[in-house]
Structure 1
């Protein structure tokens, strides 16, 4: 009765359990590796910029038994092509972790006029559209007649009759081409949501081409209700038997390890003393975000509560604008300073774009970068407080229906200011910042029309010595995105991608978009920069009689700089420091740029480029 009860001592069992877990994890991995080394030795292969292509795909040096029947990739001049439901698609990205790939229709790659009108239909036995994808439909209508005269969303194809037109609209075909319009045929094509928004605001042929080239995401079955079976060959069937056993054992042991680790961490946490200042912070669930934000000590004193944001904006009474990110409201700080408050859409996500913007812009201090005065991060309520820009954004002054047009000298100063701001982001910060969304809507103008680069939600930080960035998926706005972001066949993504967006914006500032609209009416077969180049270069290079007026020289200079910046090969584009030098220098010192080309070069031209850095 007086015997001491035995005390439970877990220590003697910890080492055997740990050893068991380590061996259980190591052995299946080792065994599986030996099996994989014995068969399908040529399993991974590469086509263009897409590397390590494995099951279910096959092609090239990867033999047929190592892939699935409907997944043959044909490498055509460095472009992986996949046939789905009798249509050929360009494969632009593959994400094996999510069983997804981004594809674009080959017959619509450079023109919206396919030889055969096929709807975009994927094989439901192999693929599905992503349920939560941002992709939207664009419908192309062919052989249409209209009693409304010239429409902004029309295009022509070879062989069209005199009174026949073709139209494009965002959305499904069920919405119809519009009142007073009849069409014989139509096809629907999924494209990125950003492309759809661009088409709604800028319904033009060159934006349509960019949208069709942006592609759309599909998923092959593997994470869903069924799995693609391996090919039925004797060696592979033996492998599958072993792998199923290994998978079952590994999953079971992994589950035990996870449960054990969770219990251990929970018990360890219970033993940890609470901080003496612990008051039950309601934002503890956002602790990783808190840590990131608090790393920037200068911003810690500028954090606002959501109730303060409501007070600053007078309960969001004066709305300045709205976009896909949320809305912008005019506000006033207690000291009387006017501000613009960007309130992001409520979400339960990890706030990646919000953190990205705070993290990027907090590193900057430049006259041509918008000044961040504070922020709000209160559970899922997020807002950014910026200095107020009375003249709003650049797009309000350069669109075809703008109420007030700026003179060429003011546009030149804006272009130069933006160039200096980008030069600062690329070279003068401790960490290089690539913006990835340079466009007129993101260039704000103060009372003196001094430009300020804004909206760093898509920006990426990198070391200055890094030339190539790792970027998943397309980012930016259709019409301004560099071609290498769509397809790595054009080159690596780098700060030169900002240079391309800047060049497209400069061309728009000097009226290239208006020229493009006129040219697009005549033919839909030509690439936008190609046609603008043919229209503008004779004007830019003509010899003056006695002198060139200052305004005319400024316009010519901006055209030349714009064309240098939109060279398809990133190595042919100048760095922003060179852009500033060209804008501030004489017209005669700027070389005539070559014509931009739509397709990637067969060989690199870097060795011939004056800007290959």
Structure 2
């Protein structure tokens, strides 16, 4: 009799198990088909796990082993459900960040622009590329963020920048701005390859430039290394070329916002590449867009920008003027350890120009009779860039053109005694006159007769 009862109970339980399994299958299927409208993935797992656990416990009521197995299944089920819940919560947060930073708009724009070499990276991809943002991967850091070296899955080396902050007003437009910046294609500008928008502050991915920065070349371990004037002038011209492109050729115009020697990278040939658009903004189209928090680096900041909080193209010009001073003097733009009146390089330079003591500031490596005419011209250009009022400063196009003419003259010394050849080299509109310095047998540019150079014609 007892045997018959047990068989009957087991038969009933097996029937219940089949019915329960069919129910679970139906619920799970409906969950996937209806996109989770009846039961989400967590609910399904909980129902299945709880059912199986109770079933095992019920069928093994008098079996300690069976009861233990049921409890284990129950614990595993709840743990898995919690992990999935946390993961779904994290994904929800990432989706919120993605939408907040204009990711949907960026994605749609990317689909409409076939062949665009720009990628939206996931946070997981960039963590793998940088070994979870390991400190040993750090290439450099500043007020705007930290830059890491990374390797993508296709073994492409990249520079990954984690920005510190982003203007609240710019978050919605960030994706759109990234698309515009990604279309910049200039030999002297570091290429923006992609970005990650599913984090609180977007992460930028640039092409990797293997050499150091201009700052390190001037002030770093290379400090004793001789850097010829022609090399300095070429780096200055290439950097000015890049900024002039951003201001005048990009559509819409782009302001860099943090021009400094550490944001000018150098490749294996010491060719300049302007980088770090962490502070970049699209040129404002009306006055209401000008107001922003002051960003930048001490020693390079435009005084007018600090007073008005209005970043303009002339703010970049001022900062570039400081870079010119670094190339001329090999001194840092700001030195906390110096005397009070010598801490700021730009103020010290302007004072020296007024007192006709430029020679005291110039780097000894390039200060000689042969170079003096060129050094005075570059110094005068730097002085114009450092004018207190932005309207009195030249444009980056004018700065580029002046440096281009100086570079051509210094790179073609055989034209100095041939005015016609020099005129052909510089262009018909130039009015540069080269005169021989009889006392030394060298050549220099007489500043009083270089009106064509001064006017940027």
Sort the TM-score into its range (normalised by shorter chain).
0.5 to 0.7
Residue 342 (str. 1) matches residue 153 (str. 2): no
The separation in 2 between residues aligned to 1:444 and 1:502, in whole angstroms, is 14
Deviation at 1:576, TM superposition (A): 1.1
Aligned to 2:254: 433
Matches within 5 A, 1:179-218: none
Give the counterpart of 1:372 among 192, 215, 227: 192
2:123 pairs with 302, 306, 317, which one? 306
Decide whether the 8 Å contact of 1:435 with 1:460 is kept in 2.
yes
Spell out, residue by residue over 1:576-610, the C-alpha distance to the aligned partner (whole angstroms, 9 max, x if none): 111111112248578969xxxxxxxxxxxxxxxx8
Task: State the shift of 1:506 in Å.
Answer: 0.8
Taking a change above 3 Å as real, the CA distance of residues 524 and 438 of structure 1, as seen in their structure-2 partners, is: closer
Equivalents in 2 of 1:354, 1:553: separation in Å?
46
Residue of structure 1 equivalent to 2:281:
460
Residues of 1 paired with 2:118 and 2:382: CA distance? 41
Question: Deviation per CA, 1:144-181, whole angstroms, max 9, x where unpaired?
Answer: xxxxxxxxxxxxxxxxxxxxxxxxxxxxxxxxxxxxxx
* Secondary structure of the structure 1 residue equivalent to 2:216: helix
Alpha carbons 1:310, 1:316 under 8 Å: kept: yes
Retained in 2: the 8 A contact 1:342–1:383? yes
Report the CA distance shift for 1:346/1:532 in structure 2 as closer, same or farther (over 3 A). closer
Confirm or deny: 8 A CA contact 1:469 1:493 kept in the other structure.
no
Shift of 1:554: 4.3
1:285 matched to which residue of 2?
96
Residue 319 (1) aligns with residue 138 (2): yes
Q: Distance in 1 between matches of 2:175 and 2:206?
A: 15
1:486 alignment partner in structure 2: 306
Q: 1:611 deviation in Å?
A: 7.2
**How far 1:300 moved relative to its partner?**
8.4
Among 467, 470, 487, the residue aligned to 2:290: 470
Residue 361 (structure 1) aligned with residue 181 (structure 2): yes
Q: Decide whether the 8 Å contact of 1:481 with 1:497 is kept in 2.
A: yes
Residue ranges of structure 2 left out of the alignment (5+ in a row) = 1-33, 42-87, 361-367, 410-431, 434-444, 449-453
1:425-456 superposed Cα distances (whole Å, 9 cap, x missing partner): 11101111111210112111222222122222
Q: Give TM-score scaled by structure 2 length.
A: 0.57
Q: Structure 1 residues 357, 505: CA separation in 2 closer, same or farther (over 3 Å shift)?
A: farther
Local SS of the residue matching 1:315? coil
- Is the contact made by 2:322 and 2:333 (CA closer than 8 Å) also made in structure 1? no
Given candidates 296, 318, 333, the residue that maps to 1:500 is: 318
Counterparts of 1:530 and 1:561 in 2: how far apart (Å)?
Answer: 12
Look up the match of 1:215. none
3-state SS of paired residue (2:197):
strand
Deviation, 1:516, is 9.0
Residues 298 and 334 in structure 2, CA contact (< 8 A), matched pair in contact too: no
1:530 is displaced (CA, Å) by 2.7
Deviations 1:470-528 (Å, cap 9, x if unpaired)? Answer: 2334222221111211224xx9752111111100111122116379979x749579943
Among candidates 324, 329, 332, match of residue 148 of structure 2? 329
2:215 equivalent among 395, 400, 408: 395
Q: CA deviation at 1:376?
A: 1.8
8 Å contact from structure 1 (residues 557, 583) kept in 2 = no
Q: What is the DSSP-based 3-state SS (H/G/I as helix, E as strand, rest coil) of the residue aligned with 1:373?
A: strand
Q: Which residue of 2 aligns with 1:601?
A: none
Question: Per-residue deviation at 1:561?
Answer: 1.7
The Cα shift of 1:331 comes to: 1.9
Tell me the equivalent position of 2:232.
411
Maintained 8 Å contact 2:352/2:358: no
Q: Distance in 1 between matches of 2:176 and 2:224?
A: 34
Q: Indicate how the Cα distance of structure 1 residues 384 and 536 shifts in structure 2: closer, same or farther if over 3 A, else same.
A: farther
Aligned residue-pair number:
311
SS at match of 1:582: helix
Paired with 1:401 and 1:565, the residues of 2 have a C-alpha distance of 29
Structure number with higher strand proportion: 1
Match of 1:511 in 2: 329
Return the alpha-carbon distance in structure 2 between the equivalents of residues 483 and 373 of structure 1: 33
CA contact (8 A) 1:360 1:459 kept: no
Q: Distance in 2 between matches of 1:381 and 1:574?
A: 35
Looking at structure 1, the residues matched to 199 and 334 of structure 2 have their Cα atoms a distance apart, in angstroms, of: 46
What aligned pairs does 1:59-138 form with structure 2 within 5 A after superposition? Answer: none
CA contact (8 A) 1:357 1:457 kept: no
Contact 1:512 1:532 in 2 (8 A): no
Q: Verify the 8 A CA contact 2:219 2:330 in the aligned structure 1.
A: no
Residues 456 and 591 of structure 1: CA distance in aligned 2, closer, same or farther (over 3 Å)? farther
Q: What's the CA shift string for 1:202-249, capped at 9, x where partnerless?
A: xxxxxxxxxxxxxxxxxxxxxxxxxxxxxxxxxxxxxxxxxxxxxxxx
Bigger-Rg structure (1/2): 2
Asked if structure 2 preserves the Cα contact closer than 8 Å seen for 1:333 and 1:339, the reply is yes
Q: Is the 8 A contact 2:265 2:273 kept in 1?
A: yes
8 Å Cα contact 1:482-1:501 kept in structure 2:
yes
Distance change in 2, residues 1:611/1:494 (3 Å): farther
Q: TM-score, normalised by structure 1?
A: 0.44
Alpha-carbon distance, 1:386 to partner: 1.1
Q: Deviations over 1:46-93 (max 9, x none)?
A: xxxxxxxxxxxxxxxxxxxxxxxxxxxxxxxxxxxxxxxxxxxxxxxx
- Pairwise mapping of residues 592-607 of structure 1 onto structure 2 (< 5 A)? none
The correspondence of residues 219-230 of structure 1 with structure 2, limited to 5 A, is none
Q: How far is the alpha carbon of 1:409 from its aligned partner?
A: 2.1
